[in-house]
């Protein structure tokens, strides 16, 4: 029996890997190994890191796992969608299998994440200006409304906790252009968060359609379902992991 793929969880802006702790514990209880990555741009001092830095950092973590022959399900949230899209170029399992190499990315999951065309930036997708809950100060960008926009569907005490754990993001990441569109060469899935106040569901629907994937899931959650309904997110990832437990040549046909 093939071993379970490793689930690599990539956060969005303002967030550190700790946001995935509960989800990771749930995945572990189901026999699914996972890691959560950090972006160099999040909380950077000075705030000079760019999208290029974040992509390079994630890619190095993916390559380290793939070099061990591991299969990877890459789960991207929010800004993490831009990072992950660029980081997976050339790392798809099917592409590597054609070269006689083991391991690779078997699936890219966008969870209320930005799947944007090559050459476009996150700021482009925001209409050229920061949203009302984002505050730019010099090279810093802060999130002012996490409790209202990012995780309105968790208990009040938890809102205070997670608001306190948000940190700044380097302004440069918002203007960095996307460099790769993985949905053309590897399987993808999209998790639409239907009560999202940060990334409108209508925009998520458009991006999911662009992926041209049959694997579209919907959750009645805020922008942060890994906080408000980790069990449901784990259900989806467990189902997807089961579908990817096949050879590289068969993956696309199962998703």
Rounded Cα–Cα distance for residues 57 and 96 (Å): 21
Count other C-beta atoms under 10 Å from residue 249's C-beta: 11
Q: In the prediction, which pLDDT does 248 show?
A: 43
Q: In the prediction, which pLDDT does 128 show?
A: 94
Residues 141-163 have pLDDT tens digits of 999 988 899 999 999 999 999 99
Q: In the prediction, which pLDDT does 96 show?
A: 95
DSSP assigned state of 42? B
Identify the bridge partners of residue 170 per DSSP, sorted by sequence position: 140
Average pLDDT, the chain: 94
With 0-12 / 13-18 / 19 or more C-beta atoms within 10 angstroms meaning exposed / middle / buried, residue 83 is buried
Over 50: is that where the pLDDT of 253 sits?
Answer: no
With 0-12 / 13-18 / 19 or more C-beta atoms within 10 angstroms meaning exposed / middle / buried, residue 210 is middle
Tokens 């209508």 appear where? Answer: 202
Rounded Cα–Cα distance for residues 143 and 163 (Å): 9
Q: What is the mean pLDDT of residues 91-107?
A: 95
pLDDT tier at 190 (50, 70, 90 boundaries)?
A: very high
Query: What six digits make up the tokens of 90?
Result: 């050339």
Residues 6+ apart with CB under 8 A from 196: 112, 204, 221, 222, 223
Residues 2-29 have pLDDT tens digits of 689 999 999 999 999 999 999 999 999 9
Least confident of 124-133, 191-200, 246-255: 246-255
Q: What is the mean pLDDT of residues 194-201?
A: 97
CB 107, CB 186: distance < 8 Å: yes
> Buried (b) or exposed (e) across 123-160, using 16+ Cβ within 10 A?
bebeeeeeeebbeeeeebbebebbbebbbbbbeeeebe
Give the fold, CATH level 3, of 6-245. Rossmann fold (3.40.50)
pLDDT tier at 42 (50, 70, 90 boundaries)?
A: very high
Over 60: is that where the pLDDT of 1 sits?
Answer: no
């Amino acid at each position: 029996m093939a071993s379970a793929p490793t689930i690599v969880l990539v956060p969005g802006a303002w967030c550190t890997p700790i946001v995935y702790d509960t989800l990771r514990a749930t995945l572990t209880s189901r026999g699914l190994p996972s890691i959560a990555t950090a972006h160099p741009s999040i909380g950077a001092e000075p705030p000079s890191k760019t999208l290029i830095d974040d992509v390079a950092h994630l890619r190095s973590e993916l390559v380290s796992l793939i070099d061990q022959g591991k299969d990877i399900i890459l789960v991207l949230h929010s800004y993490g969608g831009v990072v992950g899209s660029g980081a997976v170029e050339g790392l798809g399992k099917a592409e590597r299998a054609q070269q006689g190499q083991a391991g690779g990315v078997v699936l890219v999951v966008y969870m209320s994440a930005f799947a944007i065309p090559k050459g476009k930036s996150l700021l482009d997708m925001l209409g050229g200006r920061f949203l009302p809950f984002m505050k730019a100060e010099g090279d810093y960008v802060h999130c002012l409304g996490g409790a209202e926009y990012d995780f309105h569907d968790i208990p009040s005490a938890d809102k205070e906790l997670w608001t306190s754990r948000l940190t700044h993001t380097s302004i440069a990441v918002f203007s960095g252009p996307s460099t790769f569109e993985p949905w053309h060469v590897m399987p993808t899935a999209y998790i639409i968060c239907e009560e999202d106040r940060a990334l409108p569901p209508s925009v998520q629907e458009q991006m999911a359609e662009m992926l041209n994937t049959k694997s579209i899931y919907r959750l009645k959650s805020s922008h942060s379902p890994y906080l408000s309904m980790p069990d449901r997110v784990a259900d989806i990832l467990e189902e997807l992991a089961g579908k990817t437990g096949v050879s590289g040549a068969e993956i696309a046909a199962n998703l």
